[in-house]
Amino acid sequence: MKSRKRKNIPIVKAVSSYKPTIVDKSARAEPFRTRTIITEEEGKKVVYKCPASEMAKEFVKGIVAKEKANAAYLKGHFDVHCGTLEKDCIQYDYLPYPSLPDKMQSHMHDRDFQAADELFYQYIQRIEALETTYTLPKEFLTLVADKDDYASNVKCLSRGLFDLTPKNILLHGNRWILLDNEWSFNFPIPMIFVVFRGIWELVGTLQGEIRKITSEDIPALGIFASALHTYYVPLIWIKYIIATDTSLRRLIKWEAGFREYTFAARAYVGRIKRWPSLRRHFSARSIKSDNQVYIRMKKSIKSLPGVAKLEHILDE
């Protein structure tokens, strides 16, 4: 009987009862498929990022160089968690620190929006402090949009750090540590797009907490939507994504283009509401109600013909 070819996973150097955690990104386009494994060796947690396809080997190897370039670019504002290449995988020390959204969520849970907002403001300040250039970002537009999508110079980060977003930032004292440097490019990208991705991510992750702290003093605007769910943004954050010449619809288009690039498939990322609603209060039930209604409806009609495309049609 022929032996099966082993999948590309790291060799665990010491036997341990620790059950590895695996984050599989095999849904991506084949050249970008990765598998992240958190395991334990000699009593210490270790992280490995490995290619999940033969074509992804060069992509994974290239991440180490990206980390070094990003560390130089971000110096003084963010630390970069760099790994070491071992054969086809990258080995990282495990960092047991909370992420930026974790810290913000904890403050919001304690009804301390001011502390959460201060962290958000520091995030924006650190991005705005990075080296920038005013240019027409041709390489960026080629990647995510039509080449004629944007016709004027715009303020750009000098390096294309698509994933300089809150979920990839760990906080340890005064250190802001950036993880996951896969999507880094040696060309400028619009700063507004990086900020938009950060806010978009926070709004999705912290939606329940945002609704709980919404009040007369902290109003929220329901400006984003996906299928039947509306996402509210603290009004104080809105200025960071609308006070430019780049429309929210263009930013959504760029996000969809980036996801199409990474997944090699058409992407549906939600929409901008035509008539955003301002809220100053959510009842206990409405904190999650629209999402629950959508989930119940989806479960009840998922067997009907064409239902799989319903969410996509609504988002378009």
DSSP state string for 117-136: HHHHHHHHHHHHTS-EEEE-
Amino acid 43: pLDDT? 86
Helices (H) and strands (E) counted in the chain, each on its own, are 10, 16
Least confident of 175-179, 201-205, 209-213, 226-230: 226-230
294 within 8 A of 229, measured Cβ to Cβ: yes
Cα 265 from chain centroid?
A: 18
* Mean pLDDT, rounded, of the chain: 87
Label residue 106 left, alpha or beta by phi (over 0 means left) and psi (-120 to 50 means alpha): alpha
Taking only the tens place, the pLDDT of each residue in 261-308 is: 999 888 888 999 999 999 999 988 887 656 555 555 555 555 566 655
- Tokens for 315? 């988002």
Amino acid 14: pLDDT? 41
Report the candidate in 158, 294, 163, 278 with the shortest Cα–Cα distance to residue 222: 278
218 within 8 A of 232, measured Cβ to Cβ: no
Amino acid 112: pLDDT? 97
Alpha carbons 42 and 195: distance in angstroms, whole number = 40
Amino acid 244: pLDDT? 74
193 within 8 A of 210, measured Cβ to Cβ: no
Residues of the chain with pLDDT > 90: what percent? 71
